Structure 1
């Protein structure tokens, strides 16, 4: 059915919004996020909106599969990814209610990522001629676990996960419609995009509802899987460009904290987007700039796919790195110094 790709994000958004309304009183009672050293909020706020995002996304994809069944292993792969994401959501919910030891949390995350990697994409290779299968799988597992955590680390400001993941998911949904990635990947991306859009009104500054780890962890897994699928088509540069702001902010911050000898698993406020709110940027100014950059990154990723020349792809990646670096520098600089 030709209308399925357009219907998926709409259904996901409506379902997620309705679930946010229905769940919020329960979350207000049992799942309050209280301010800590990492928080940008000042009053206890219900968390768990990620439940609505995931449910909306998976409901929309399930309806799409019902209306237009996919051939081969595509449908089974979607079930595996949904299962891995739901298992990771349970880990996140547990951590939201009663924080887990860092080591146990990491092991459970690795188990969920590994399950999806082996069961949903067993045939996918990025560098078959350069790396042995075991080495590539180990690197993919490491990258997947890091992506799960960096999305969680970056979910510390109202709307920032929406600003970071919606453009990425929308770009991948369009890639599915264009035939760059398979339809199953495109539908999953469209569902994730719609689910986050349905959640967005409840998370706008000042937020009435947070994703919680129950949402940020599986959203990180779904995003990593979608990017892995994109990279598997040969569009490796595009897969690097799309999440570049989130990856750069989280990774640079991690290495800075390691260099200072800090305990990197403890709450903090040293991400660039967090520095920005202390340097005179409003929350809306921060997320607006992040969203605008991510739209530009999505456009550059599209150009990197369209232009098959390695030099053109390298140019798109270099420009993406430059623009991301400029925004990080702006966030780290007090507004008064801009004049």
Structure 2
């Protein structure tokens, strides 16, 4: 069991990087991202790097399960693979020819609902099962979309998913997560690391919706599985910056009666660049914050008690609020 993530991370990283190199000429020809009201770039840049991440995760998980013996994990892995593939196809089509928001949301809702119902498990036994399932589906759908919303800056998804998946691998090795989620987290960690050199500022390649939607689904499933193992506080702490930035931005736009389905530059990380923060400074701060959140989330599982959970949750909330406040203020020269 200890060997699986040690093999999965470098294998997925190598596969992801190799696939990107092979696919780049095709992406330059057919999948150029041009700037719009939401963009932080001005030069047309190839998108679709997420294809390599998805394929690398599929191949790595498949190889490890085949060598180890899938056992009871086979059915859940198969359902997850089909769900991820459907969102990757949806994202690929949307990258080439933008689809109506209603169609995208409808397909995403069906995929998330199917995955939640297939995985099962109980997070809040005190709630009626239909209510819990409904909350899980809405939460998963929101997470898929917020990952897409937050993927608007070079290295932003790297700064989010490397600490998140690294923490999940650590928790899996510590016994806080079953084998399959730990393996998927390790494969996703490696695949994102393989993508990182091509996306570093100034990026030569973007994830595209073909990458951000499957990443959102994989992240939502991993956090759901963590919560089902008794780690609900950890599952909220790990993506807390993404949750706060995207949710507060959506709430603010709704209060202003702005069309929330249209491209915009209202997220705190986007306001930070408008306020004078270099891209590297923004993603660097997000990365360090996510490392701190990963440590706090791990503490709630390694030392399970209500004082630790309350202190870790409070500290995480304070750190996120502090960074959002900093991003919202104009940076002083020097």
Could you tell me the TM-score, scaled by structure 2's length? Answer: 0.98
Residue 122 of structure 2 is aligned with which of 125, 129, 132? Answer: 125
Asked whether the equivalents of residues 5 and 187 of structure 1 are also in contact (C-alpha less than 8 Å), the reply is: yes
Question: Is the counterpart of residue 290 in structure 1 residue 289 in structure 2?
Answer: no
Q: How does 1:86-125 map to 2 (within 5 A)?
A: 86-119=85-118, 121-122=119-120, 124-125=121-122
Question: Is the counterpart of residue 244 in structure 1 residue 240 in structure 2?
Answer: yes
Q: Secondary structure at the match of 1:335?
A: coil
How many Å separate the matches in 1 of 2:38 and 2:331? 22
1:194 aligned residue: 190
Asked whether the equivalents of residues 5 and 187 of structure 2 are also in contact (C-alpha less than 8 Å), the reply is: no
* Shift, 1:201, TM fit: 0.3
1:23 aligned residue: 23
How many Å separate the matches in 2 of 1:35 and 1:5? 38
How many Å separate the matches in 2 of 1:306 and 1:313? 11
Q: How does 1:272-287 map to 2 (within 5 A)?
A: 272-287=268-283
2:249 aligned residue: 253
Asked whether the equivalents of residues 172 and 182 of structure 2 are also in contact (C-alpha less than 8 Å), the reply is: yes
Asked whether the equivalents of residues 84 and 217 of structure 2 are also in contact (C-alpha less than 8 Å), the reply is: yes
1:211 aligned residue: 207
Asked whether the equivalents of residues 237 and 314 of structure 1 are also in contact (C-alpha less than 8 Å), the reply is: no
CA deviation digits over 1:184-211, x for unaligned, max 9?
A: 0100001111110000000000000000
Question: How many pairs are equivalent?
Answer: 334
2:312 aligned residue: 316
Question: Is the counterpart of residue 140 in structure 1 residue 140 in structure 2?
Answer: no
* Structure 1 unaligned residues grouped into runs of 5+: none
Question: Is the counterpart of residue 47 in structure 1 residue 47 in structure 2?
Answer: yes
Runs of 4+ in structure 1 off by over 3 angstroms are none
* Shift, 1:311, TM fit: 2.0
* Shift, 1:154, TM fit: 0.1
How many Å separate the matches in 2 of 1:139 and 1:231? 13
How many Å separate the matches in 1 of 2:122 and 2:2? 30
Asked whether the equivalents of residues 2 and 173 of structure 2 are also in contact (C-alpha less than 8 Å), the reply is: no
* Shift, 1:117, TM fit: 1.0
Asked whether the equivalents of residues 75 and 184 of structure 1 are also in contact (C-alpha less than 8 Å), the reply is: no
How many Å separate the matches in 2 of 1:115 and 1:109? 10
* Shift, 1:70, TM fit: 3.3
Measured on the aligned residues, the alpha-carbon RMSD in Å equals: 1.0
2:7 aligned residue: 7
* Structure 2 unaligned residues grouped into runs of 5+: none
Asked whether the equivalents of residues 159 and 290 of structure 2 are also in contact (C-alpha less than 8 Å), the reply is: yes
2:266 aligned residue: 270
2:83 aligned residue: 84
2:61 aligned residue: 61
